[in-house]
Structure 1
Amino acid sequence: MVGSKYLKPPTSKSHFDVFLYNQFRAKPQWPAPNVSLSDKTAIVTGGNTGLGYEAAVQLLGLGLSRLILAVRSPAKGEAAASQLRQLHSKAILEVWKLDMSSYNSVLAFARRVETEPSRIDIVLLNAGLTNFNFTKVESTGHEETIQVNYLSTMLLAVLLLPILKAKRSPGGEPARLTISSAALTLHAAFPNCDANPLLPSFDDPKTYKPQEHYRTSKLLAHMFLWNLVDYVSADDVIVNLADPAFVKGTGLVVRNATGIVVVFVKLFGALFGRTVKLGASCYIDAIVNKGKESHGCFLMSWNVHPFAAFLYTPEGQVVTRRLWDETMAELDFAGIRSILDSLRA
């Protein structure tokens, strides 16, 4: 079993080369015809629209018995669930509230997962955002992109790990935890990597750059996973990151954009974007096709890929450890140190 951190660093290809490969050369890996998720329960965050919704469609298409859509807006979640029920009337579909910008909401959601379902087999942490304007989360003081894509996502992942271990398949099959990622991380500039402390450096509106904050928020997840897998056995929970590549029609980029930006993104997507079905299949591949060999891995276009080259450098190792220590301190209120130690025991 070899995680991405044990692979050779990626070669210095430009992001343009990676983009061309992902969009036009990579070959999809669909589940085998005999794959069945019957009797299994899954959670999909951000499952009411875009890639999350399509991932839900594909999971249900494989016979998933129970699906929990974790969404910020219960009304929008119920509308999505209604559509899914029409397609898959035998499955149990539920809508649970989850606001990834709120630590309290994440904690409440995790407590509900621990209490209610008797079984959890699959978690897809798909919810994420990108903002064109600097937005601070008042309850935490952090910039919203970093809060949602990194801090709250890693908190939820850690909180769910012991629950997944305890409530996985009675036959001993490992549970699955897949986190949405992005190939953009491979060429993130990370201009504040030398900041010490690191996390507060993302919260300055004067240095906010929308695209770079998004790239770096996803890169931070790579850095966190580098250390996280040392605490988690693939026999209990297989944890991986999956990149759906550039997908048209999801609304991620244009959600907070206006004017010419919206026009450009839609035109660019029409010319070069993957379909939502193809993009979501990368998540399904990470959950269904890939086994223990994908534990601790970054999956790009249906294949295991190294992390960003920066992580393998001496400087990158220092920053990765700094980020881990600061994240542990930031999330100490939730007791994540003891949770991770219990998984390792």
Structure 2
Amino acid sequence: MVGSKDLPPSTTPFFPNVFFNNQFRAKPQWPAPDMTLLGQTAIVTGGNTGLGYEAAVQLLDLKLSRLILAVRSPEKGNSAAAALRKLHPRAMIEVWPLDMSSYDSVQAFARRAESQLSRLDIALLNAGVIKLTFGTVASTGHEETLQVNYISTMLLAVLLLPILKAKRQPSGPPARLTIVSAALTLAAKFPNRAAIPLLPSFDDPATFDREEHYHSSKLLAHIFLWNLVDYVSADDVIVNLADPAWCKGTELARDVQGPMKLAVKLFGTTTGRTKRVGASCFIDAIVNKGKESHGCFLMSWKIHPFSAFLYTPEGTIVTQRVWDETLAELDFAGARAILESMKGV
């Protein structure tokens, strides 16, 4: 199988060319008419709004039997669940609290999944933020974008992997873990790449750049996945990253205020995909793509190379540093032991 790691780096010289192709020329790949998720259970983080909600709709359209909406606000989650139940009254739809800025919340969510779910086939990790001003998470000391988009997302992924492996359909197809990504990783400058240690360098307010912090937080997930798939068999869980491209009508930039808010709305209206098309990228990664997508970055409904930086000698060094620092950060949750166990029988 030829995955993202095996492809040559992208040679597109100018990121706007990538953006144009991704936004306007790529064609959606919809599930086959006879595709069914009957009997299956899925988790969607951030599933109460935007692309997460739309992905939930599309999973339910495929006859998904049980849906867990993992949300920070139970009130908003319950409102979304009520709307989904009207569309799909036969499905079991539940709302579970999950605060991606809290290690305790992430761990409690994973423990609940292990103890209360008899089956788990799909996890779509969609929750994410773009912070316009610097702020840290009090309990961890990390900058919020880094915490939510990268560290806590990787923690949840690691915690869910053995649950997905154990609770997928017996003798059935592999479980699925899809992490929402962004084409902007390909444009990330990653200015603090040489910092030692690396992760704490994101926590310095003097170096905060709202665009670069977001780009780099998504790039770090690519870097972590590079090594992660060495511990996870595609026969157990297929893990991939999916880019929905720029979409209008989402709440990702909900913190934007003033003239910038109007500019973002106008840009989305004129160039953005609909939420239906954007969320179809996640559904494609989950139901259309097979083992060939394990460890891959999916963009424009195709397997795409990672950022060119990852293929360089410097990228190799930084990839190992990110891996080691992330596992050290998540040592309290036994992340390294969990991954080693995934290599077992």
Do they fold alike, i.e. is TM over 0.5? yes
Give the secondary-structure state (helix, strand or coil) at the position aligned to 1:293.
helix
Report deviation, 1:328. Answer: 0.7
Partner in structure 1 of residue 214 of structure 2: 214
1:148-203 Cα shifts (integer Å, max 9, x gaps): 00000000000000000000012331000000000000110000000010001000
Query: Matches of 2:30 and 2:52 in 1, distance apart?
Result: 17
Give the secondary-structure state (helix, strand or coil) at the position aligned to 1:177.
strand
Partner in structure 2 of residue 160 of structure 1: 160
The answer to whether structure 1 residue 170 and structure 2 residue 196 are counterparts is no
Query: Matches of 1:3 and 1:327 in 2, distance apart?
Result: 23
Q: Which runs of 5+ in 1 are unaligned?
A: none
Partner in structure 1 of residue 308 of structure 2: 309
Report deviation, 1:14. Answer: 1.4
Partner in structure 2 of residue 108 of structure 1: 108
Partner in structure 2 of residue 343 of structure 1: 342
Give the secondary-structure state (helix, strand or coil) at the position aligned to 1:298.
strand
Contact 2:248/2:265, CA 8 A, preserved across alignment? yes
Using the size of structure 1 for normalisation, the TM-score is: 0.99
Give the secondary-structure state (helix, strand or coil) at the position aligned to 2:216.
helix
Give the letter aligned to residue 193 of structure 1: R
Query: Matches of 2:179 and 2:264 in 1, distance apart?
Result: 24
Contact 2:240/2:285, CA 8 A, preserved across alignment? yes
RMSD over aligned CA atoms reads 0.6
1:108-127, aligned counterparts within 5 Å? Answer: 108-127=108-127
Query: Matches of 1:172 and 1:19 in 2, distance apart?
Result: 38
Partner in structure 1 of residue 333 of structure 2: 334
The answer to whether structure 1 residue 273 and structure 2 residue 286 are counterparts is no
Give the letter aligned to residue 327 of structure 2: M
Report deviation, 1:21. Answer: 0.4
Report deviation, 1:12. Answer: 3.8
Query: Matches of 2:100 and 2:2 in 1, distance apart?
Result: 31
Query: Matches of 2:111 and 2:46 in 1, distance apart?
Result: 18
Give the secondary-structure state (helix, strand or coil) at the position aligned to 1:233.
coil
Query: Matches of 2:86 and 2:203 in 1, distance apart?
Result: 44
Give the secondary-structure state (helix, strand or coil) at the position aligned to 1:197.
coil
Report deviation, 1:3. Answer: 2.5
Contact 2:12/2:18, CA 8 A, preserved across alignment? no
Query: Matches of 2:13 and 2:255 in 1, distance apart?
Result: 31
Partner in structure 1 of residue 129 of structure 2: 129
1:121-159 Cα shifts (integer Å, max 9, x gaps): 000000000000001000000000000000000000000
Give the secondary-structure state (helix, strand or coil) at the position aligned to 2:95.
strand
Partner in structure 2 of residue 256 of structure 1: 255
Contact 2:50/2:249, CA 8 A, preserved across alignment? yes
Partner in structure 2 of residue 297 of structure 1: 296
Query: Matches of 1:196 and 1:5 in 2, distance apart?
Result: 25
Query: Matches of 1:275 and 1:334 in 2, distance apart?
Result: 38
Q: Which runs of 5+ in 2 are unaligned?
A: none
Give the secondary-structure state (helix, strand or coil) at the position aligned to 1:47.
coil
Report deviation, 1:13. Answer: 2.7
Partner in structure 1 of residue 67 of structure 2: 67
The answer to whether structure 1 residue 91 and structure 2 residue 91 are counterparts is yes
Give the letter aligned to residue 257 of structure 1: V
1:216-237 Cα shifts (integer Å, max 9, x gaps): 0000000000000000000000
The answer to whether structure 1 residue 194 and structure 2 residue 194 are counterparts is yes
The answer to whether structure 1 residue 204 and structure 2 residue 204 are counterparts is yes
Equivalent pairs, count: 344
Query: Matches of 1:5 and 1:126 in 2, distance apart?
Result: 23
Give the secondary-structure state (helix, strand or coil) at the position aligned to 2:147.
helix
1:7-86, aligned counterparts within 5 Å? Answer: 7-86=7-86
Give the secondary-structure state (helix, strand or coil) at the position aligned to 2:124.
strand
Using the size of structure 2 for normalisation, the TM-score is: 0.99
Give the letter aligned to residue 195 of structure 2: A
Give the letter aligned to residue 223 of structure 2: M
Give the secondary-structure state (helix, strand or coil) at the position aligned to 2:337.
helix
Give the secondary-structure state (helix, strand or coil) at the position aligned to 1:70.
strand
Give the secondary-structure state (helix, strand or coil) at the position aligned to 1:19.
helix
Partner in structure 2 of residue 321 of structure 1: 320
Contact 2:224/2:323, CA 8 A, preserved across alignment? yes
Give the secondary-structure state (helix, strand or coil) at the position aligned to 1:299.
strand
Query: Matches of 1:5 and 1:259 in 2, distance apart?
Result: 41
User: Structure 1 segments of 4 or more deviating over 3 A?
Assistant: none
Query: Matches of 1:174 and 1:327 in 2, distance apart?
Result: 26
The answer to whether structure 1 residue 283 and structure 2 residue 296 are counterparts is no
Query: Matches of 1:322 and 1:172 in 2, distance apart?
Result: 36
Give the letter aligned to residue 341 of structure 2: S
